Structure 1
Amino acid sequence: MTDHFGVRAARFLGTRLQTGFRKGLAVSCAAAVALPLISSSALGPAPAFAQAGRKGLSLVRDAEIEGLLRDYATPIFRVANVMHSEPEIILVNDKSFNAFVPDSRRIFINIGVIMQAETPGEVIGVLAHETGHIEGRHLVRLRSAATNAQIMSVIGMILGAGAVAAGAASGSGTAASGGAAAAVGAGSVGQRTFLAYRRGEEVAADRAALRYLEATKQSARGMLATFDRMAGQEMFSARLVDPYAVSHPMARDRFRALETEARKSPYFDKPDDYILQYRHDMAKAKLLAFTSHPSAVTRRYPNSDKSLPAQYARAIAALQSRSRSAVGMIDALIRQHPNNPYFHEIKGQALIESGNPAAAVAPFRRALELRPHESQFKIWLGYALVASNNDAVLPEAERLLRQALQSDPNSSIGYSQLAIAHSRQGEVAEADLATARSLMVRGDFEAAKRYAARAQQKLNRGSPAWLQADDIVSYTPPQMERR
């Protein structure tokens, strides 16, 4: 019930913006394969880059990269007629090349897809393929349970299914029967993929992707480049071929099957849009800088490289290492492009990282002025206001955080900051409810139930807040259907 684009798993080093600023990118949803999964430590002080489920699958949030992926996917969703289901693209904190879908509303895509892709077309091809599974209604086993589930419940089911698939692939009945319990041992699951599609469904998704690219007047060259890379990996070493491939067409076969058809398109030689290429290069630089040691950033983007992506990566690396030069380097970027909201966002993060949240308010306000509907900017600004220790701004912080969470209800940090704002205003029941919702997003359902029950005791029975708490108290994570 999932789709596998990559054949290797690579260890992801860490995240930053939303996990206490020492690690980097933040939260979302996704669906596809189990990889070497790592747990992130408890989320620290800031709203932005990484969030992990209890079983170890770490997700990533970043407004800039999510916006780019939406722009890649929207034309595809439109021609595939899946806009009605409003598929959400969720970044997974893993550097391997992989993507997957658990239901008609979510596409999970590893950050490795962006980091390894040289062109936007390669990423667009992946999204088109996953959309083919959604349109083709290939999602059978987890669909009914996953559709309305909490993200972390879905992740738990994915990991459990991964354990079942791993056991089946290894021929171990014991491992297969272990289900979700085996998923806790992420190392064994991480070597394998999740659930297999039939070969016919994979071929159908590939051909659907070609149709979408043709309809949107885009080249399939990037999609072919992805299969060519995968085929090279398979030929390099048999150990790199995932057991999942036994029910997937091998990459070389898929490449050959698609190449002839793809070359018939009048758009095959059409180059990628240069603006999308620029944004792709900036996203790659950002991800590398947030997920690698500063020395790796310097090797990839030496000081002799004066390109904007190189400057961006070096500025983020300076932020990562808490260098005093970070704000100055970001200011240099802002002077070149004063209306780039993400440069102002990064400056705010650098100021919070340096222990000056009050100073971070202004750049976050500027970022929000430039993109007034961006929920993550509202969370950043709300965070800075709360951290500024000025009780006079707490009502504004609460308003911003509530607005953000209405459109982005999957932000654990947003709820935790809202809890602090309530608590400092003496609103104990509301603080407990916000804490419960933060824990729900993080997948800690038992702790969430305790806080929700405590909130209920102080809330008016039948009020909207009481009903929200009651939903949490009575929540039961859906179970994975046995194969």
Structure 2
Amino acid sequence: MPGSAILKIDFPRSLARKAVALACASALALPLVSVPAMAQGRSLPLVRDAETEHLLKDYATPIFKAAGISNSEPEIILVNDKSFNAFVPDSRRMFINIGVIMESETPGEVIGVIAHESGHIAGRHLVRLRAAAANAQIISVIGMILGAGAAAAGAASGSGEVASGGGAVIMGSGSVGQRSFLSYQRGEEAAADRAALKYLSATGQSPRGLLKTFERMSEQQMFTRKYADPYAQSHPMAQDRYNSLATDAQKSKYFNQPEDYVLQYRHDMVRAKLFAFTSHPSATLRAYPRSDKSPQAQYARAIAAMKSRGKGAVKEIDALIRTQPNNPYYYELKGQALIEGGDPKGAIAPFRKALSFKPTEPQFLTWLGYALVASNDKSNLPEAERILKEAIQRDQNSGVAYSQLAIAHGRQGERAEADLATAKGLMVSGDFQAAKRYAARAQKSLKRGTPAWLQADDIVAYNPPNLPNNGR
């Protein structure tokens, strides 16, 4: 947990590979994104931040309702990547890079991204994309068979020309299959763009932000567009997408509607927060100098002070709290600053204060549990255990909560429970083999057939996708 209120985690590699497999098909951003590198074994870096996640949820809720996917509301997951990109690997998850928020000047730009990705989910594009990929592969295989047959016939007749022609058939069939598949992808992207316009209209929101996104992407493609083969792209060229949408977008009766000022304020605050947490303190002070008295500038500078481990960090955060005494995220930041400054006991009170405004926020619960454990006060351990269990119940993907729960159990002499909590945390982080070892060790001390023993047994028996069956 130390290091940033924006908790950094790694997406389990097996799940990352599944997400990556269809990422380019559903990504709003440029086709040349960093995703393919993850397919080579790198994990997907995720971040957690309650304030940002709540803002994105408020952006998405009306869009999901308009798209008819609110009953099975997709989880929005933040990716620790400053590039402008978003994608959906399935109907349950929507990945959005922090760069989408950091580069967007208005809420409408982010909402446009969410609307586009919702179009993929509502249109079941990922399901049909798998079928299209299979068809493209079939085309390639048939071509290879025909080509191999032609090559064999040429060899039998002694005709080098026919054999050479067979090779051309093989190469050509693969190209036809790939282009057929890419053409299908481009059609789905256009359909998602159209769906986004419909959702924005249905929710009474301006499509200006969506157009702004395509303007930005077109500028980025400016130097490559001249040499790009439009038929070898998984997405339509950004300028073409802009041209296709501009007329209808400008006809919207909501086109000139101003941004919601409350959402704009929250958006500016989150942008400043993300910038400060992901930049060197000196860069933050250049972007938000002392002469800038805006709330977002004060927020960014307070975060920069905390990252610099300066003695004045808490003082700057207290000044923020005086301006908004009911802002839970300011108290969260103060608690973190105290932990970073070596005073976890002092951090307990601000984390409690943050929870008084949002009692069910799992990340606040995790922070409080962390502070209680780190306070080195044995009398705090039972409460820490209870709070961390509640955090996990509300967010089962919190590896930090599991690790702190393991420490709380261990300090109370509950070794088997500590090993089981560690195993669960390792499962969340994707280290399945280490999780199996801790679960097996926990089983030896747990009563057979109890819920805890069965949970450990499930981990021991688990065989992750793409890995061989290693037995028990």
Q: TM class by shorter-chain length?
A: 0.7 to 0.9
Between the aligned partners of 2:413 and 2:303, the Cα distance in structure 1 is 38
Unaligned runs of 5+ in 2: 25-32, 134-139, 141-180, 468-472
Aligned CA distance change for structure 1 residues 474 and 293 (closer, same or farther; 3 Å): same
Task: Give 1:341's aligned residue.
Answer: 328
Between the aligned partners of 2:425 and 2:123, the Cα distance in structure 1 is 35
Task: Give 2:418's aligned residue.
Answer: 431
Contact 1:38 1:58 in 2 (8 A): no
Q: Letter of the aligned partner of 1:205 in structure 2?
A: A
Residue among 255, 258, 262 paired with 1:271? 258
Contact 1:28 1:410 in 2 (8 A): no
Task: Give 2:220's aligned residue.
Answer: 233
SS in 1 for 2:53: helix
Aligned CA distance change for structure 1 residues 395 and 210 (closer, same or farther; 3 Å): same
How big is the alpha-carbon RMSD for the aligned residues of Structure 1 and Structure 2? 2.8
Contact 1:415 1:435 in 2 (8 A): yes
Are 1:455 and 2:442 an aligned pair?
A: yes
Aligned pair count reads 402
Deviations 1:425-444 (A, max 9, x none): 11111111110111111111
Between the aligned partners of 1:242 and 1:443, the Cα distance in structure 2 is 39
Task: Give 2:3's aligned residue.
Answer: 21
Task: Give 2:162's aligned residue.
Answer: none
SS in 2 for 1:85: coil
Question: Comparing both chains, which one has the higher relative contact order based on Cα–Cα distances under 8 Å and sequence gaps of 6 or more?
Answer: 1
Q: Aligned residues: percent identity?
A: 67
Between the aligned partners of 1:367 and 1:76, the Cα distance in structure 2 is 29
Deviations 1:297-345 (A, max 9, x none): 1111010000000000000001011011100000000000000000000
| TM-aligned CA deviation for residue 453 of structure 1 | 1.2
SS in 2 for 1:247: coil
Aligned CA distance change for structure 1 residues 77 and 355 (closer, same or farther; 3 Å): same
Q: Letter of the aligned partner of 2:408 in structure 1?
A: A
Between the aligned partners of 1:366 and 1:426, the Cα distance in structure 2 is 30
| TM-aligned CA deviation for residue 205 of structure 1 | 0.8
Between the aligned partners of 1:476 and 1:242, the Cα distance in structure 2 is 43
Between the aligned partners of 2:71 and 2:456, the Cα distance in structure 1 is 30
Between the aligned partners of 1:361 and 1:327, the Cα distance in structure 2 is 14
Contact 1:285 1:310 in 2 (8 A): yes
Correspondences of 1:361-376 after superposition (within 5 Å): 361-376=348-363
Task: Give 2:172's aligned residue.
Answer: none
SS in 1 for 2:8: coil
Residue among 104, 110, 126 paired with 2:91? 104
Between the aligned partners of 1:231 and 1:376, the Cα distance in structure 2 is 38
Between the aligned partners of 2:398 and 2:62, the Cα distance in structure 1 is 27
Deviations 1:254-311 (A, max 9, x none): 1111111111211111111001000000000000100001111111101000000000
| TM-aligned CA deviation for residue 473 of structure 1 | 1.5
SS in 1 for 2:233: helix
Between the aligned partners of 2:190 and 2:326, the Cα distance in structure 1 is 44
Q: Letter of the aligned partner of 2:193 in structure 1?
A: D
Task: Give 1:330's aligned residue.
Answer: 317
Q: Letter of the aligned partner of 1:260 in structure 2?
A: T
Aligned CA distance change for structure 1 residues 234 and 54 (closer, same or farther; 3 Å): closer
Are 1:258 and 2:224 an aligned pair?
A: no
| TM-aligned CA deviation for residue 198 of structure 1 | 1.1
| TM-aligned CA deviation for residue 26 of structure 1 | 3.3
Are 1:220 and 2:207 an aligned pair?
A: yes
Contact 1:383 1:397 in 2 (8 A): yes
Contact 1:318 1:325 in 2 (8 A): yes
SS in 2 for 1:90: strand
Correspondences of 1:100-139 after superposition (within 5 Å): 100-139=87-126
Task: Give 2:136's aligned residue.
Answer: none
Correspondences of 1:144-163 after superposition (within 5 Å): none
| TM-aligned CA deviation for residue 22 of structure 1 | 6.3
Are 1:35 and 2:17 an aligned pair?
A: no
| TM-aligned CA deviation for residue 449 of structure 1 | 1.0
Task: Give 2:48's aligned residue.
Answer: 61
Contact 2:5 2:333 in 1 (8 A): no
Between the aligned partners of 1:72 and 1:100, the Cα distance in structure 2 is 16
| TM-aligned CA deviation for residue 27 of structure 1 | 4.3
Contact 1:92 1:111 in 2 (8 A): yes
Between the aligned partners of 1:36 and 1:21, the Cα distance in structure 2 is 26
Task: Give 1:302's aligned residue.
Answer: 289
Between the aligned partners of 2:63 and 2:108, the Cα distance in structure 1 is 12
Task: Give 1:47's aligned residue.
Answer: none
Task: Give 2:387's aligned residue.
Answer: 400
| TM-aligned CA deviation for residue 140 of structure 1 | 2.8
Task: Give 2:158's aligned residue.
Answer: none
Deviations 1:436-463 (A, max 9, x none): 1111111111111111111112112221
Between the aligned partners of 1:440 and 1:120, the Cα distance in structure 2 is 35
Contact 2:332 2:354 in 1 (8 A): yes
Between the aligned partners of 1:78 and 1:372, the Cα distance in structure 2 is 26
Q: Letter of the aligned partner of 2:236 in structure 1?
A: P
Q: Letter of the aligned partner of 1:113 in structure 2?
A: V
Tell me the TM-score normalized by structure 1: 0.78
Between the aligned partners of 1:328 and 1:229, the Cα distance in structure 2 is 39
Q: Letter of the aligned partner of 2:83 in structure 1?
A: S
Bigger Cα Rg: 2
| TM-aligned CA deviation for residue 367 of structure 1 | 0.1
Between the aligned partners of 1:367 and 1:479, the Cα distance in structure 2 is 42
Unaligned runs of 5+ in 1: 1-17, 40-52, 144-160, 162-167, 169-194
Between the aligned partners of 2:128 and 2:42, the Cα distance in structure 1 is 21
Between the aligned partners of 2:394 and 2:267, the Cα distance in structure 1 is 25
Range moving further from structure 2, 232-241 or 80-89: 232-241
Deviations 1:164-214 (A, max 9, x none): xxxx9xxxxxxxxxxxxxxxxxxxxxxxxxx96611111111111111111
| TM-aligned CA deviation for residue 237 of structure 1 | 3.9
Between the aligned partners of 2:346 and 2:436, the Cα distance in structure 1 is 37
Between the aligned partners of 1:472 and 1:242, the Cα distance in structure 2 is 48
Deviations 1:235-270 (A, max 9, x none): 134599799971211101111111111112111111
Contact 2:5 2:49 in 1 (8 A): no
Between the aligned partners of 2:327 and 2:205, the Cα distance in structure 1 is 27
Between the aligned partners of 1:415 and 1:205, the Cα distance in structure 2 is 38
